[in-house]
C-alpha cells in the first residue's frame, strides 16, 4: 500500500508510480483511438452513401486523420475581434479535458498481476462511477457554452444555446437510465457493475434503460440525429463556427473522444465490459481487446445512425427528451427498484 491516499474513496488503488504509468498509457490509447474512429467514420459514411470515402492519403486513405491534424495545427490561430479572448482560448480546453477525464474511468479489464504487481486495467476505479461521469458531462457543457458565447457570433451563440438546452434535457434521462443498473448491481463502481454482470449482461434485463441510455448518449455527444448544435444548414457550423486551427481540432478531438467514452460506458454498464458470454474465461490480457471490440461495435452503431437518420427539429428534440425519454427513464428506474425489492 502506498502512502499516497486518494482524496475520494476508490475501489482499488496502486502505488503512485503505477498510477502515473497507467494514466500515460490510457491517454495514449485514447489519443490513438480518436484518429482510428475518425477515419473509420469517414470511410463507413462513404460506404453507406455508395462512395469510397478518403482513399488518397496513405494506403486506403489510412493517413487521412494525420493529414487533417497536420493541416489544422499549421493553420493560423484566428480570433474574431468581438470575441472574449480568454474564454475563447479556454473553452476548447474544457471540452478536451472533460472528455479525457471521463475516459479515465472506463475499465478495460479487471485487476491483473503484471510483473508481480497488482494493476487495475483502468484509469481509476472511483466508487461513484456514473456520478463522476455525469459531473464531467455537466462540465463539458461549459466547453460548448463558453466556446459559443465567447465567439461573439450569433450563429455560435445559437448553437451553444441549443447545445446547453439539449445537454440539460438529455443528461437527466441518461442518469435515470443508469439508476436501474445501479439498483440491480447495488454498486456505483464501474468494475463492480461489470463483475455483477457475470450471470447476465444488463442489456437484457435493462433493455429499456439500455435503449434510453443509447438515445441520450447520441444527444449528449451532439451526434446525429441530435446534432442541432452544429446544424450546418441553419447555424453555419454551430458553437465552433469561429474556431479554426488547433482550437477547432480540440473540439473535434473532444467530440470523437466523447463518442468513445459513451461507447465505453455502454460497453461497461450494459454489454458486460470485459466478460465474454457462454462462460468463456480467457486470460487477463484478452480483457482490453474484448472491451475495445465491444466499444467499436457501439461506435459502429453511432456511425450507422449518423448515416441513416435525419436531424430532428428543435421542438421535436425537446418534446422527445422531456415527454418521452424522461418519463420512460423514470418508469424504468421505478419498476427496477420495485422488482429488486420484491426479489430480495
Partner 1 sequence: MADTPDSTPDDTLVPALRVSAWSPGEDVIEVTRNPKPGAARSAWRTFRETARGMRTTFARLGEEPSTVQYPEEKVPVYPRFRGRHKLHRFEDTGLEKCVGCSLCAAACPADCIRVVAAENTPDNRVSAGERYAAVYEINLSRCIFCGYCEVACPFDAITMGHDYELSDYTRDDLIFTKEMLLAEPLERTPLRNEDE
**What whole-number distance in Å separates Cα of residue 200 and Cα of residue 196?**
8
Cis status of the peptide bond prior to 328, with omega within 30 of 0: no
The conformation of residue 181, written as its DSSP 8-state character, comes to H
**In degrees rounded to 5, what are phi and psi of residue 69?**
-65, -45
Q: Is 94 left (phi over 0), alpha (psi -120 to 50) or beta?
A: alpha
**Using the rule CB under 8 A, is 49 a contact of partner 1?**
yes
**Using the rule CB under 8 A, is 13 a contact of partner 1?**
no
**Using the rule CB under 8 A, is 207 a contact of partner 1?**
no
**Using the rule CB under 8 A, is 281 a contact of partner 1?**
no
**Using the rule CB under 8 A, is 316 a contact of partner 1?**
no
Q: Of 70 and 309, which CB lies nearer to partner 1 in the complex structure? A: 309
**Least distance from C-beta 48 to partner 1, angstroms?**
5
Which of residues 29, 67, 172, 305 is near partner 1 by CB under 8 A?
305
User: How many CB atoms are closer than 10 A to CB 144?
Assistant: 31
Strand 117-120 to 111-114 pairing:
antiparallel
**Using the rule CB under 8 A, is 84 a contact of partner 1?**
no
Which of residues 12, 13, 27, 48 is near partner 1 by CB under 8 A?
48
Strand partners, 119: 112
**What whole-number distance in Å separates Cα of residue 75 and Cα of residue 67?**
12
DSSP string, 277-332: STT----GGGHHHHHHHHHHHHHHHHHHHHHHPPPPPHHHHHHIIIIIIHHHHHHH
**Using the rule CB under 8 A, is 5 a contact of partner 1?**
no
Q: Of 161 and 305, which CB lies nearer to partner 1 in the complex structure? A: 305
User: Taking contact as CB under 8 A, which single stretch among the options 34-42, 46-54, 175-183, 267-275 is the one that binds partner 1?
Assistant: 46-54
Q: Of 84 and 305, which CB lies nearer to partner 1 in the complex structure? A: 305
**Using the rule CB under 8 A, is 51 a contact of partner 1?**
yes
**What whole-number distance in Å separates Cα of residue 150 and Cα of residue 148?**
6
**Least distance from C-beta 47 to partner 1, angstroms?**
5
**Using the rule CB under 8 A, is 50 a contact of partner 1?**
yes
The conformation of residue 275, written as its DSSP 8-state character, comes to -
**Using the rule CB under 8 A, is 27 a contact of partner 1?**
no
**Using the rule CB under 8 A, is 58 a contact of partner 1?**
no
Q: Of 50 and 59, which CB lies nearer to partner 1 in the complex structure? A: 50
DSSP string, 54-115: S-SSSGGGTTHHHHHHHHHHTS-----TTS-HHHHHHHHHHHHHHHHHHHTT---S-EEEET
User: Taking contact as CB under 8 A, which single stretch among the options 39-47, 66-74, 250-258, 267-275 is the one that binds partner 1?
Assistant: 39-47
Q: Which of 99, 91, 27 is nearest to 247 (CA)?
A: 91
**Using the rule CB under 8 A, is 308 a contact of partner 1?**
yes
User: Taking contact as CB under 8 A, which single stretch among the options 76-84, 85-93, 252-260, 302-310 is the one that binds partner 1?
Assistant: 302-310
**Using the rule CB under 8 A, is 322 a contact of partner 1?**
no
**What whole-number distance in Å separates Cα of residue 248 and Cα of residue 245?**
6
**Using the rule CB under 8 A, is 304 a contact of partner 1?**
yes
User: Taking contact as CB under 8 A, which single stretch among the options 47-55, 102-110, 155-163, 182-190 is the one that binds partner 1?
Assistant: 47-55
User: Taking contact as CB under 8 A, which single stretch among the options 10-18, 114-122, 278-286, 300-308 is the one that binds partner 1?
Assistant: 300-308
Contact (Cβ atoms closer than 8 angstroms) between residue 90 and residue 245: no
**Least distance from C-beta 265 to partner 1, angstroms?**
22
Which of residues 52, 78, 86, 285 is near partner 1 by CB under 8 A?
52
Residues that bind partner 1 (CB under 8 A): 44, 46-52, 304-305, 307-309
Amino acid at each position: 500500500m502506498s502512502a499516497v491516499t486518494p482524496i475520494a474513496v476508490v475501489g482499488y488503488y496502486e502505488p503512485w508510480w503505477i498510477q502515473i504509468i497507467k494514466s500515460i498509457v490510457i491517454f495514449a490509447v485514447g489519443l490513438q483511438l480518436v484518429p482510428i474512429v475518425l477515419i473509420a467514420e469517414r470511410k463507413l459514411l462513404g460506404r453507406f452513401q455508395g462512395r469510397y470515402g478518403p482513399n488518397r492519403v496513405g494506403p486506403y486513405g489510412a493517413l487521412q486523420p494525420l493529414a487533417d491534424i497536420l493541416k489544422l495545427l499549421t493553420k493560423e490561430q484566428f480570433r474574431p475581434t468581438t470575441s472574449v479572448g480568454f474564454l475563447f482560448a479556454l473553452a476548447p480546453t474544457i471540452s478536451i479535458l472533460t472528455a479525457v477525464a471521463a475516459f479515465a474511468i472506463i475499465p478495460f479489464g479487471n485487476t491483473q498481476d503484471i510483473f508481480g504487481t497488482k494493476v487495475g486495467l483502468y484509469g481509476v476505479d472511483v466508487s461513484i462511477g456514473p456520478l463522476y461521469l455525469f459531473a464531467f458531462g455537466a462540465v463539458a457543457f461549459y466547453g460548448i457554452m463558453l466556446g459559443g458565447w465567447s465567439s461573439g457570433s450569433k450563429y455560435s451563440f445559437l448553437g451553444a444555446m441549443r447545445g446547453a438546452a439539449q445537454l440539460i434535457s438529455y443528461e437527466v434521462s441518461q442518469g435515470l437510465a443508469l439508476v436501474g443498473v445501479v439498483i440491480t448491481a447495488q454498486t456505483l463502481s464501474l468494475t463492480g457493475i461489470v463483475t455483477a454482470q457475470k450471470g447476465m449482461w444488463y442489456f437484457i434485463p435493462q433493455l429499456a434503460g439500455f435503449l434510453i441510455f443509447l438515445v441520450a448518449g447520441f444527444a449528449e455527444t451532439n451526434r446525429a440525429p441530435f446534432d442541432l448544435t452544429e446544424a450546418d444548414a441553419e447555424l453555419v457550423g454551430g458553437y465552433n463556427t469561429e474556431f479554426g486551427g488547433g482550437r477547432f481540432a480540440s473540439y473535434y478531438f473532444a467530440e470523437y473522444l466523447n463518442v468513445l467514452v459513451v461507447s465505453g460506458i455502454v460497453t461497461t454498464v450494459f454489454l458486460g465490459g470485459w466478460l465474454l458470454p457462454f462462460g468463456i474465461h480467457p486470460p487477463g490480457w484478452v480483457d482490453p481487446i474484448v472491451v475495445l471490440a465491444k466499444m467499436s461495435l457501439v461506435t459502429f452503431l453511432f456511425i450507422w445512425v449518423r448515416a441513416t437518420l435525419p436531424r430532428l427539429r428543435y421542438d421535436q428534440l425537446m418534446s422527445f427528451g422531456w415527454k418521452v425519454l424522461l418519463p420512460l427513464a423514470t418508469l424504468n428506474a421505478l419498476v427496477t427498484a420495485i422488482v429488486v425489492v420484491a426479489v430480495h
